[in-house]
Amino acid sequence: MKILAIRGCNLASLAGEFEIDLVQGALGGAGVFAIVGNTGAGKSTLLDALCVALFDRTPRLTNHSRVVVGRGEEDPGALGAQDVRTLLRRGASHGWAEVDFESGDATRYRARWSVRRARGQYDGTIQPQQVTLTTLDGGERLGGTKTETLEQIHRRLGLTFDQFRRSALLAQGEFATFLRADGKDRSELLERMTGTSIYTRLSMQAHLRASLAEQRLATGRTAAFAIPVLDDPARAAAESDRALAELARTAARSRHAGAEAAARWVAERTARTHALDTAERMLGDALCGAEAAAVDRAELGLRRRAEALRGPWEEAQRRDRELAMSHADVQAAEQSASVSASAQRVLAERQDLAEEIHAPIRTARIAAGIVERTVESSASRARATRGPARGVDSVNSSGADIDAAVALGRATLDDAVWISVRAALAPEITGWNDLDAKFAQHAAAADAIAALDRAQKEQTTARAKLAHTRNGLVTEHQAAIAKHGDAQRKADAFQKKRGLTLDAAGKHEAAARTRLVEVERLVAIGAAARTASAARDAIDRRRAEIAECTARDAIERASTETARATAVAVRAEREHSLAELRKAAGYKHARTELVDGEPCPLCGAEEHPWRDRGGFDDAIAAAKARLDESTCTIDGATAMLASLDARSQHHARELSTLATSHSTVLADGATAAVRWAQQLTVLGELSLVGDPDAPAAEAYASELHAASRSKLDEAKAARSQAEAATKAAADAQADVQLRQAELDATVVRLADVDRKLAELDGAIERRAGERTSRADRHAELGAELGNALLRWRTAVEVERADPRAVAPTLGRAQGRTTRTRGPLAVANETPSIDREAMSPAAAASAHAWMSELAVTWRTRAERVAHADSALAAASAALDVEARAAETAVAEHAARCVDATRRRADAIAALATAAAAFEHARTHAGFDAEELRRLLSAEPSRVEELIERIGQLERAVELAHAVVAERGRLVAEHAVVQPKSLEDAAEVSVLAAALATTEQHAARAAAVIAADDDARVRRAAALELLARAEASADIDRVLGEVIGSHDGKKFRSFAQSLTLDGLLEVANGHLEELAPRYQLERVPNHDLELQVIDRDLGEEVRSVQSLSGGESFLVSLALALGLSSMSAHDVRVRTLLIDEGFGTLDPATLDTALHVLDKLQAHGRQVGVISHVPQLKERVFAHVNVVQRGGGRSEVIVA
């Protein structure tokens, strides 16, 4: 993986666009390049741009804070404190970050992150960010949604965000701290730098799983033994009760079944008898209906006689309808003949009018030489599609076209006269297009000459201004040289006056802050010790309370068990007495124990009329009351013992938990005491107070904390002063650079002005030559246009000589039109002629006159030609329609004759049919009105009467059959009568008794089933408990091996292995960076380090003995080692090392940079990020982030 370029726009302090190309330009061939700038200039923003384009995350915004930063709820720019969109520069409408990178397979990609505000406004609401990935070679876009695109980037990079931070962004300063830290702090640093926090979570999870497994086993054991089951005597009694209940239920079922059979036979007999009665009533109804159908039979006979006369009657009706239709045909034929004759007269008048108007227009067209046109009329189109029209239809189809043609001819008479008078202009009008083009060329040449004159004047004025500007620039250049000298002297003065360096002040502040952190750690240890002491006292108090409660419960248990044993003996005696009394009383007393609504145990009845008749009622009731009292006493004692057992178990579990907690608290207290002593040693303080939970320890820690806080405040003030001095010097240096930039800009502007002056001189000379050539062409065109204008004017003057010459051609048609002007009027006055030199105004006037005359000619000629063709088509259409009208008149006359003949034939046929019908009616003996009524009804009336009479006859037959069948069923049912019908009326009583026995049997069976289920559930629970105990062994063992409540046990082991791997890779880098040294772990210590000095005969040295330069090289080797480990199989070829160079002296700094430059041989490019200005002097390729004031910075690559 290699970073090729980083770009961005409007990100934090970096206003506008910037680009850092790591392949081309100044950084392309550099093994090491520096990213330098003042504190707050925006160096870290470059890393943010890199990370946000690749991962939509940044190293500085990694947690999930819900704090919203803004100016209130109404602020559209308010965002979460950890939202990456806060990178957008305030006041910018959009921003973006872009990274070009090369994957492991040498494919190049471009990842882009962008954000914008709504509507492109600077105060709009910030919209969700967009992420895209495209290939640089083909431009193919990968991924769709933001999540899919980030997955594609991860796949191409081969690194997650955390792996990228540890392999490409190296925080060398963390490893310098890592070298000198103690075991605990080194553990925390190693966990943060290598991402091995998972081992802490695994250790804590193993401890938690072991604890939960123990809790589940205890809960399962309690639940298994809490399932109640019957003891053996109770089980035997329940089975005996179930057997007796089954016998009683069998007997009740048998008697109830017999009663139900008898009741069903009685019900069936009643139903069959009722059905027989119903069938007999139906037979009587059917016979009555058959007798009432005599009227329908008579009507049926009469209608059958009348149907024989239906043929003659319908024939007479048909002849009468034919006669009515003949009358209508005669009237229609006569009306059509009249309309056709009228249409023929109208067509003749229209033919005369059209010919009268067409004659002068045709004469004018021929005189002007206009070609005749052909226009197809609507009448001819109609004939082509549907054949020749006839009569009035023809007149209606072409009338609109003919009227339109006549009106057009009348309106065009003036145009015909105008064309005839100016027939001599026809040749000139034909060549007008060429002449019009020459007019346009003449005007264009004049415009070009004027434009050249204006341009030459403007260029002369511009040259004068440029000369004046150049004089001013010379003055500005001299002033810029003076300002640059003043700024350089001021910067030199600030550099000489600098006191304590910012790095030294930072070291002092870091030392004070570290001291404060260590003191706060001491305060926390004291607080933990006091907390452990308070917890220990609380556990001791709770143990004493449980012991006291357990003693009270033991006394109460002994008393309760004695009372229960006594009550059991008393109950047995009282049960025996009650049994003897009941035996003596017999069944007479058993009746007294019955309860209304409850079934009798013998017969099952719920009503007990003999319940109150018994001999030993009072004695048995008293004995039963005493037995119930003993039973209540035993139940109360049993419940009390169960409560005591539960309380004892709870106390045992609580004591076990307290014992564990007590051990933990004691261990925490001992650990706190050890850590207290160790922390005092780290602080270099005397152990004046050995017990951390003592009040004196708290006061001592508070005193140290106050002193450390005071020193930190003093160090912060010193650092602020150093920052102010550094910033003043940087501002002075920036002013020098700004003045140098202004000086350079002045030189560039002078060169630009000189170049423009030379260009203007050349342009002025070229335009002078161009104007001469265009003036010659303008004169030539003026002469040609003057000759053409003379010809047009001569033609117009000739036409004006005798305009009345064409008047006789108008004929009588001219008198029919109303004219608003004379036939010889011209467009306007002709312009004057100057063939030697035609001015632009004269040319424009001549062009307007000739153009108007040509347009008028063509417009009038078009109207004359169109009117001539329309009138010709109208005349042809009128001729056709006239012939069609004549044919229609003849056809309508013949149709009248034919309709009159058919009407006479219909009258004769009607008379013959009426005489035949009257003869048939008289012979049949029908009255005329009665016969008409019968025949006017539908013929289906006969079939309807036949169907109705048939239905009545079939109903009588069916009723006879039903009566016979139901009588047979009654006789057959009487044969199968049961032997006894006594229980038929007692079915409900027997059903109630059966239900009672069923319930008793069900209750007895439910008791047995419930006990069986309880036994199965207890066995299953015990089996599950056994399996759970077997499976819990794994959690117990895992908890014992790696589990701990704080995760320390497994974390220490895993980190020792991680440290071994890190040291192995780091030693490989040390072979190249500093072959003198090797790192190894201190024997018998998981996280302690020592150095092997090969130049001193493999001498073992403490890491604290390394000098600043040596520590830097060792920590850099550790950083490179972590980079290799975190990248796994991905070869990272771009490294960015953040800070760590401010503490090096110049010689060591040169050595470190030389070592980093050697990494280029391994294909790596290293970027060093620092605010140290001297780094820029020692690294030739650098990215300088320069503050421009107003919160704006600029990225300069050099």
Per-residue pLDDT of 36-57, as tens digits, reads 888 888 888 998 999 999 999 9
What confidence tier does 116 reach under pLDDT thresholds 50, 70, 90? very high
Do 870 and 374 form a contact (C-beta atoms < 8 A)?
A: no
Do 82 and 62 form a contact (C-beta atoms < 8 A)?
A: yes
What confidence tier does 826 reach under pLDDT thresholds 50, 70, 90? very low
Residues 1120, 1115: Cα–Cα separation, whole Å: 9
**Residue 1184, CB half-sphere, CA atoms under 13 Å: how many?**
18
Tally of residues, the chain: 1198
Residue 1067's alpha-carbon distances to 196, 418, 1064, 1092, in angstroms, are 21, 113, 5, 11
For the record, the structure tokens of 970 come out as 């009654």
Residue 44's alpha-carbon distances to 757, 1051, 1119, 1138, in angstroms, are 47, 33, 19, 9
Do 340 and 883 form a contact (C-beta atoms < 8 A)?
A: no
Nearest to 1113 by CA among 1151, 1143, 1146, 1080: 1151
How buried is residue 78: exposed, middle or buried, by Cβ count under 10 Å (0-12/13-18/19+)?
Answer: middle
What confidence tier does 73 reach under pLDDT thresholds 50, 70, 90? low
**In angstroms, how far is CA 121 from the centroid of its own chain?**
25
Lowest mean pLDDT among 604-608, 953-957, 1128-1132: 604-608
Q: Treating both helix axes as pointing N-terminal to C-terminal, what angle do 310-368 and 840-924 enclose, rounded to 10 degrees?
A: 160
Q: What is the DSSP string of 53-113?
A: HHHS-BTTB-S----EESSSTT-TT-EETT-GGGGBPTT-SEEEEEEEEE-TTS-EEEEEE
3-state secondary structure 655-680: HHHHHHHHHHHHHHHHHHHHHHHHHH
Q: Which residues contact 815 (CB under 8 A, 6 or more apart)?
A: none
pLDDT at 228 over 70: yes
Residues 737, 599: Cα–Cα separation, whole Å: 115
What confidence tier does 823 reach under pLDDT thresholds 50, 70, 90? very low
What pLDDT score does 606 carry? 63
- pLDDT tens-digit readout, 512-570: 888 888 888 888 888 888 888 888 888 888 888 888 888 888 888 888 888 888 888 77
**In angstroms, how far is CA 981 from the centroid of its own chain?**
81
Sign of the alpha-carbon torsion through 1125, 1129, 1131, 1136: negative
How buried is residue 951: exposed, middle or buried, by Cβ count under 10 Å (0-12/13-18/19+)?
Answer: exposed
Write down the residue that tokens 């320890």 correspond to.
Answer: 697
What pLDDT score does 130 carry? 93
- pLDDT tens-digit readout, 755-796: 888 888 888 888 888 888 888 888 888 888 888 888 787 777
CA angle 799/865/796 to nearest 5° reads 15
What pLDDT score does 112 carry? 96
pLDDT at 1138 over 50: yes
Residue 248's alpha-carbon distances to 241, 326, 600, 998, in angstroms, are 11, 105, 12, 9
Q: How many helices (H) does the chain have, and how many strands (E)?
A: 26, 17
DSSP state at residue 593? G
What pLDDT score does 385 carry? 44
95 DSSP β-pair partners: 115
What pLDDT score does 391 carry? 45
Select, from the ranges 496-505, 574-583, 1128-1137, the one with the highest average predicted confidence (pLDDT).
1128-1137
What confidence tier does 227 reach under pLDDT thresholds 50, 70, 90? confident
Lowest mean pLDDT among 335-344, 657-666, 1150-1159: 1150-1159
Sign of the alpha-carbon torsion through 379, 383, 384, 386: positive
Do 465 and 760 form a contact (C-beta atoms < 8 A)?
A: no
What confidence tier does 65 reach under pLDDT thresholds 50, 70, 90? low
Q: What type of residue is 490?
A: K
pLDDT at 897 over 60: yes
What pLDDT score does 1126 carry? 57
pLDDT at 423 over 80: no
What pLDDT score does 229 carry? 80
Identify the H or E element spanning 564.
helix 502-585
- pLDDT tens-digit readout, 676-722: 888 888 877 766 677 888 888 888 888 888 888 888 888 888 877 77
Q: What is the DSSP string of 1118-1143?
A: HHHHHHHHHHTT----EEEEES--TT
Select, from the ranges 233-242, 297-306, 1048-1057, the one with the highest average predicted confidence (pLDDT).
233-242
Average pLDDT on 812-827 reads 43
pLDDT at 1003 over 80: yes
For the chain, give the percent of residues with pLDDT over 90: 6
111 DSSP β-pair partners: 99, 133
More confidently predicted of 189 and 741: 741
pLDDT at 827 over 60: no
For residue 886, how many other CB atoms are within 10 A of its CB?
14
Residues 802, 326: Cα–Cα separation, whole Å: 73
Mean pLDDT of the chain: 79
Lowest mean pLDDT among 55-69, 467-481, 564-578, 816-830: 816-830
**In angstroms, how far is CA 112 from the centroid of its own chain?**
22
For the record, the structure tokens of 623 come out as 């004995």
Q: Does domain 1-30+37-61+80-159+1159-1197 have CATH number 3.40.50.300?
A: yes
Residues 350, 398: Cα–Cα separation, whole Å: 12
Nearest to 403 by CA among 91, 1033, 746, 870: 870
What pLDDT score does 839 carry? 76
3-state secondary structure 285-342: HHHHHHHCCHHHHHHHHHHHHHHHHHHHHHHHHHHHHHHHHHHHHHHHHHHHHHHHHH
What confidence tier does 395 reach under pLDDT thresholds 50, 70, 90? very low
More confidently predicted of 443 and 424: 443
- pLDDT tens-digit readout, 398-417: 667 777 888 888 888 888 88
More confidently predicted of 98 and 169: 98
Average pLDDT on 832-853 reads 74
What confidence tier does 819 reach under pLDDT thresholds 50, 70, 90? very low
What confidence tier does 616 reach under pLDDT thresholds 50, 70, 90? low
Average pLDDT on 995-1013 reads 85
pLDDT at 815 over 60: no
Residue 1144's alpha-carbon distances to 31, 317, 504, 1155, 1183, in angstroms, are 20, 135, 11, 14, 21
Residues 518, 679: Cα–Cα separation, whole Å: 7
DSSP state at residue 1181? S
8 DSSP β-pair partners: 18, 97
Lowest mean pLDDT among 620-624, 645-649, 1095-1099, 1144-1148: 1144-1148
What pLDDT score does 387 carry? 46
pLDDT at 807 over 70: no
For the record, the structure tokens of 641 come out as 């013992």
Q: How far apart are the first and last CA of the chain?
A: 25
